[in-house]
A = this chain, B = another copy of it.
Amino acid sequence: MVQYVGVENLTALIRSVGIETFLSELAGYIEDDFRRWPAFDKVPRVASHSSEGVIELMPTADDMLYGFKYVNGHPSNIHKGLQTVTAFGVLSDVRSGYPLLLSEMTLLTALRTAATSAVAARYLARPDSRVMAIIGLGAQSEFQATAFKALLGITHLRVYDLAPAATLKFCRNMRDSGLDVIVAESSQYAVLGADIITTITADKLKATILSDNMIGAGVHINAVGGDCPGKTELQAEILLRGRVFVELPEQTRIEGEIQQMAEDFPVTELWQVVAGEDPGRRSACEVTIFDSVGFATEDFSALRYLRDKVQDTNFHTEIDLLAELPDPRNLFGLLKA
């Protein structure tokens, strides 16, 4: 039998654990896996494009576990009342090839993205950071806010979105968060005095959400929204002024903010910082940029955490995705029994 964690059980698990604790523990797994980055089999995601969107498979493995995520991206879904991104994933035993756990990953991806941002910021933001600006208040925004509160000690948010409905949704969701939220009237105003700036806008365009003149010394930019070819949020000058940190350079050069830059634009891999091979932030006035696009190991960490977390609990069920045969050679016997 394969363990199954659907939306209902994952939601119940997170409520039971508490979302801040969940994000903190998840961040620990993500950090551990970044630290042992060379141990992973890293292959490019496999994408199937259509006129409406893309469906991707993102596999990775270490020598014990194999994981993959199925994820779609369909911007026009929002007009049909559907989510633009949904996902599910599987964790398997490398030695037998048998799947162990199947999980919903729409929610889990939102959590791992925010936890990864917070892990990066712990190495890259100034330790005294308390104020975060968030530009773009879509589905990912509350997860970012919560992860930065739980992992960085952020106390104040300055937020902005073009759409009043998104702002309203964000404020409603953050009402009891313990965070002090200021709704700004523009991006320019939102970033004033912020130690950390998170950009997570949804437009599938080369946009300039942040321009160089908006970025003060010592700021850490958590650039999450520029995550596919043709979609960026930062003016190139910012990338030239700061130090850029990435997950997998070959993927980020295609999908991230640095798609605007030359092929040999210098970047530092986040895992090197986590593993202690690079110091990360070098001074209080340096501008640091985490050019986040998401990578398969983060999903692997999330599945690994979830699997550990649901053992000996009722937050999973079992499904008969695999036959259990008395004689493994006698598959046909299933039909005769």
CB of A199 to closest CB in B, whole Å:
17
Q: How far is the CA of A323 from the CA of B111 in the complex (A)?
A: 15
Interface size on A (CB < 8 Å)? Answer: 75
Q: Pick the contact of A83: B54, B319, B325 (CB < 8 A).
A: B325
Does A28 belong to the interface (CB within 8 Å)?
Answer: no
Q: Is the CB of B322 within 8 A of A104?
A: yes
6 contacts between A and B (CB under 8 A): A11-B335, A68-B70, A70-B99, A86-B98, A139-B328, A319-B319
Q: Chain A, 79-111, contact with B by CB distance < 8 Å: what is the 0/1 string?
A: 011111010101010111111001010110010
Q: How far is the CA of A173 from the CA of B331 in the complex (A)?
A: 10
Q: How far is the CA of A206 from the CA of B55 in the complex (A)?
A: 37
CB of A204 to closest CB in B, whole Å:
15
Q: Chain A, 220-258, contact with B by CB distance < 8 Å: what is the 0/1 string?
A: 000000000000000000000000000000000000000
Q: How far is the CA of A107 from the CA of B109 in the complex (A)?
A: 31
Point out the residues of chain B lying under 8 angstroms from A330, CB to CB.
139, 169, 173
Q: Is the CB of B333 within 8 A of A7?
A: no
Q: Is the CB of A55 within 8 A of B50?
A: no
